Structure 1
Amino acid sequence: MKKTFSILSIFTLLIFSNLIIYSCGSREDTVSCFPNNPINVTLNLNLPAYYPLNNINGWIYVNEQQSGTRGLIVVRTGTGFKVYDRNAPHICPDNNTTLEVKDNISVLCPKDNTRWILTTGQPESGSKTSLPPKTYPYNYDAAGKTLNIYY
């Protein structure tokens, strides 16, 4: 009975230590070195620069003040919007980790060619990570066509 108890104790200890190790390595849905900047951007979709967001699958880059360290990607989906940070979520920022939209269907990390589906943020098959791009909440006033993005 003592042998069974000690094996069970060691097994339980190993499980909890693995949970602690793996949970400390990330912050929310990104790597621990992901920049944490305030986001506060208001877009008037009546302006020509933002016209693509009036159509489903339309997207734009936002590089205004208070749009993070590298800006945002905003895409119109069938149910609203997706707002992605342009920092790659799975590797620490450097010169070649700014996310880009490719072929109007994917978000690409140029450093390692990891891709996500533009309208959902889901990793494409064969992706080097299961982390999606970091997203931000928003409010949309359809009557005034005003999109407010914040964090």
Structure 2
Amino acid sequence: MKKMKVLRLALYIMVVGLISAGCSGDDGPIRANPNLPNLNINLTLDLNLPQYNPLNFPGNAFVTQLQGVRGIVIYNIDNSQYTAFEIACPNTPVSDCSSMTVEGITATCPCNGNQYNIITGQITAGEGQYPMLAYRITRSGDQLTINN
């Protein structure tokens, strides 16, 4: 019986340790993009407002210029999962042409023609070292909160 308690305790400590190791608050290399300034992002969108209506339906994207370097693209995966990415081209310095355009699930950088998937943030066409800069996004009721 005592061995069982010790094994349970050891298992509990191991699981908590693994979870803690995987939940680091340091985004390190993901945020280490020299092309994009490190801005403090804290944005809440009320899905009841008409301008955010597209975000009430899976498969829709919405671009806001309220915060971010050039703005933020938000994508509704399934009404419980969303993605949010910086809309500035991640592989070029910020300039007049570094604001990407979004069509479907593809963001295109007019500076170099690179294309990125707005669900994963990964480059899908062109060359570049950096993916799109991801922001944290959570839904609580009819509110989407985006931050970093």
Structure-2 change in CA distance of 1:31 and 1:88 (3 Å): same
**Match runs of 1:76-87 below 5 Å:** 76-78=76-78, 80-87=81-88
Corresponding residue of 2:106: 106
Q: Give the TM-score, by structure 2 length.
A: 0.73
Q: Deviations over 1:50-108 (max 9, x none)?
A: 111111121111122xx122111111113611101111111111110111102x13111
Corresponding residue of 2:115: 115
1:32 aligns with 2:62: no
For residues 68 and 118 of structure 2, what CA distance do their matches in structure 1 show?
Answer: 19
Unaligned runs of at least 5 residues, structure 2: 1-27
The Cα shift of 1:128 comes to: 1.1
Unaligned runs of at least 5 residues, structure 1: 1-25
**Paired residue type of 1:140:** R
Give the conservation status (yes or no) of the 8 Å contact 2:82–2:138.
no
State the identity %: 25
Corresponding residue of 2:135: 136
RMSD of the TM alignment (CA)? 1.9
Give the conservation status (yes or no) of the 8 Å contact 1:37–1:69.
yes
| Corresponding residue SS for 1:88 | coil
Corresponding residue of 2:143: 146
| Corresponding residue SS for 1:69 | coil
| Corresponding residue SS for 1:42 | strand
Structure-2 change in CA distance of 1:30 and 1:89 (3 Å): farther
Aligned length: 120
For residues 96 and 30 of structure 1, what CA distance do their matches in structure 2 show?
Answer: 21
Q: Give the TM-score, by structure 1 length.
A: 0.71
